[in-house]
Chains A and B, each alone.
Chain A
């Protein structure tokens, strides 16, 4: 596991270890919680919770890890709120419908996802953070930026739109090779989704080739984003328990939890491999 990016994109204390106190005191770290302009009407000092983002392609194990982390955090007494793509009340279903039709153009789709993101951020995530909850995000602006960027929308344009997004406390990138992601996804659903294989981009008529090429393009974008935003890269090809241990270690250190011991409950034990 390594941490890329130098300029302290995530809120850290001077010793390189995460420090929540520094942020709470608002001694110069507070403004860095947004990338650029603050959302209208948001007071940063009110946001006492923490935001952890899990990024990675389909098949990287994001949702498994989030289920396990949620249980662990709750067992430690932390209330958890989750967010993810297309989960907003405002436009979540509309995006599903657009994707099903696949006649939508790239800028429109990109902006619908932005609407979905900000609806969740403003009406669910910020209230949760105000109440001191832990927010676990199953993907974040980075997937949205990468997907649009590989379709030719400018990176500066995309970063401009998301400059009002909240900067995560920690961003984990579960990195897996496209071939492994393909295997996992195929095992899970016996097919590969139209969008996850980038078939709108006419990369190849062969489904496997299209998937690999598309995921390789996305991965390149993530490498760039990782440098720019200081992701914590995690080897997503490790076992579920190994990956989970890494995530717990980082999160525990950020939150000041002493024990990272965790054994999944019976309900989740099937995920533990």
Chain B
């Protein structure tokens, strides 16, 4: 059942988001999904990706924290709980930079439609919730290309948290924000941490031109909407199987 969120208009297609003319120094396009854990963003991006794959579009999918480059350091830091808010943030930035310089940017220059599950806004929301200064984070990630569309999936905190807590046997230390000393109870700590992150995301809706998606809407209905918005904002023909690079809009 679709229920509108009380505080923010829920239907994205009707919200006239003012588009910043993105700095496009490349023929590709960048589409990202953002939102707290359990907001439904990964499911929706997966379905979008499948749709485009089946259609034969030139796409590339990338997700947060997937690079082998810093994996050993991240593991070491997390296992031994050595990470401070600053080093946590820097390590993820290094990882992101690797993906950005070796995948995202070359692919955008090569004319791909790049789909990213989480992007720099994840770092802005999460690391600021850990106490990093907002202006420091903005500077840290200033090398990242601005997305053409940022879908922000928003679900009420209770809905999102129950989706995660019921699906996972145990919340991890950093995932639950235990390093912040919010609560000794992991589930409670997770909830408070996610609440902070959600508030930080909400603050970026206007400044970063998020397209708001109601994470409580039925999956297939929401996917239909997502495909419509994508088609409206991006000239998909440009990435299509036959007309690749043939026409300019």
Task: Judge whether A161 and B98 touch: CB under 8 Å.
Answer: no
Knowing A107-B143, A115-B94, A164-B86, say if A90 contacts B100 (CB, 8 Å): no
Find B72's partner among A37, A41, A94 (CB 8 Å cutoff): A94
Task: Judge whether B69 and A98 touch: CB under 8 Å.
Answer: yes
Mark interface residues in A110-138 (1 if CB within 8 Å of B CB, else 0).
11101100110011000000000000000
Find A40's partner among B73, B77, B95, B132 (CB 8 Å cutoff): B132
Task: Judge whether A40 and B85 touch: CB under 8 Å.
Answer: yes
CB neighbours of A252 from chain B (8 A): none
Mark interface residues in A77-92 (1 if CB within 8 Å of B CB, else 0).
0000000000001110
Knowing A105-B98, A111-B97, A112-B94, say if A40 contacts B136 (CB, 8 Å): no
Check if A108 is an interface residue, CB within 8 A of chain B.
yes
Nearest opposing residue in chain B for A112, CB measure: B94
- Give Cα distance in the complex from A36 to B69, angstroms: 30
Check if A157 is an interface residue, CB within 8 A of chain B.
yes
Check if A67 is an interface residue, CB within 8 A of chain B.
no
CB neighbours of A26 from chain B (8 A): none
Task: Judge whether A37 and B133 touch: CB under 8 Å.
Answer: yes
Find A105's partner among B93, B97, B131 (CB 8 Å cutoff): B97
Residue count of chain B within 8 Å CB distance of chain A: 32
CB A223 to nearest CB in B, in angstroms, measures 24
- State which residues 55-95 of B face A: CB under 8 Å: 69-70, 72-73, 76-77, 82-87, 90-91, 93-95
CB B109 to nearest CB in A, in angstroms, measures 14
Residue among B131, B135, B139 with the highest chain A CB neighbour number at 10 A: B139
Knowing A105-B97, A105-B102, A111-B90, say if A163 contacts B136 (CB, 8 Å): yes
Nearest opposing residue in chain A for B84, CB measure: A122
Check if A39 is an interface residue, CB within 8 A of chain B.
yes
CB neighbours of A201 from chain B (8 A): none
Task: Judge whether A90 and B69 touch: CB under 8 Å.
Answer: no
Task: Judge whether B139 and A157 touch: CB under 8 Å.
Answer: yes
CB neighbours of B87 from chain A (8 A): 90, 115, 118-119, 122
- State which residues 96-130 of B face A: CB under 8 Å: 97-98, 100-102, 130
Task: Judge whether A123 and B82 touch: CB under 8 Å.
Answer: yes
- Give Cα distance in the complex from A105 to B133, angstroms: 26
Check if A160 is an interface residue, CB within 8 A of chain B.
yes
Check if A104 is an interface residue, CB within 8 A of chain B.
yes
Task: Judge whether A105 and B101 touch: CB under 8 Å.
Answer: yes
CB B229 to nearest CB in A, in angstroms, measures 31
CB neighbours of B164 from chain A (8 A): none
Check if B140 is an interface residue, CB within 8 A of chain A.
yes
CB neighbours of A108 from chain B (8 A): 69, 94-95, 97-98, 101
CB B24 to nearest CB in A, in angstroms, measures 20
Knowing A90-B73, A90-B77, A94-B72, say if A111 contacts B94 (CB, 8 Å): yes
- State which residues 30-70 of A face B: CB under 8 Å: 36-37, 39-41
Find B90's partner among A36, A39, A98, A115 (CB 8 Å cutoff): A115
- State which residues 132-188 of B face A: CB under 8 Å: 132-133, 135-136, 139-140, 142-143
- Give Cα distance in the complex from A221 to B93, angstroms: 25
Residue among A39, A108, A112, A157 with the highest chain B CB neighbour number at 10 A: A108
- Give Cα distance in the complex from A203 to B77, angstroms: 37
Residue among B77, B83, B84, B87 with the highest chain A CB neighbour number at 10 A: B87
- Give Cα distance in the complex from A115 to B86, angstroms: 8
Find A89's partner among B82, B86, B131 (CB 8 Å cutoff): B82
CB neighbours of A104 from chain B (8 A): 69, 98
CB neighbours of B130 from chain A (8 A): 40
CB neighbours of A163 from chain B (8 A): 136
CB neighbours of B140 from chain A (8 A): 111, 160-161
Task: Judge whether A91 and B139 touch: CB under 8 Å.
Answer: no
Find A90's partner among B76, B93, B101 (CB 8 Å cutoff): B76
Find A115's partner among B91, B101, B102 (CB 8 Å cutoff): B91
CB neighbours of B133 from chain A (8 A): 37
CB neighbours of A41 from chain B (8 A): 131
Task: Judge whether B94 and A118 touch: CB under 8 Å.
Answer: no
CB A37 to nearest CB in B, in angstroms, measures 5
Find A119's partner among B82, B102, B135 (CB 8 Å cutoff): B82
CB neighbours of A110 from chain B (8 A): 97
Q: Report which B residues bind A (CB closer than 8 A).
A: 69-70, 72-73, 76-77, 82-87, 90-91, 93-95, 97-98, 100-102, 130-133, 135-136, 139-140, 142-143
Closest 10 CB pairs of A and B: A111-B94, A160-B139, A105-B101, A40-B131, A107-B97, A115-B90, A108-B98, A108-B97, A91-B73, A37-B133
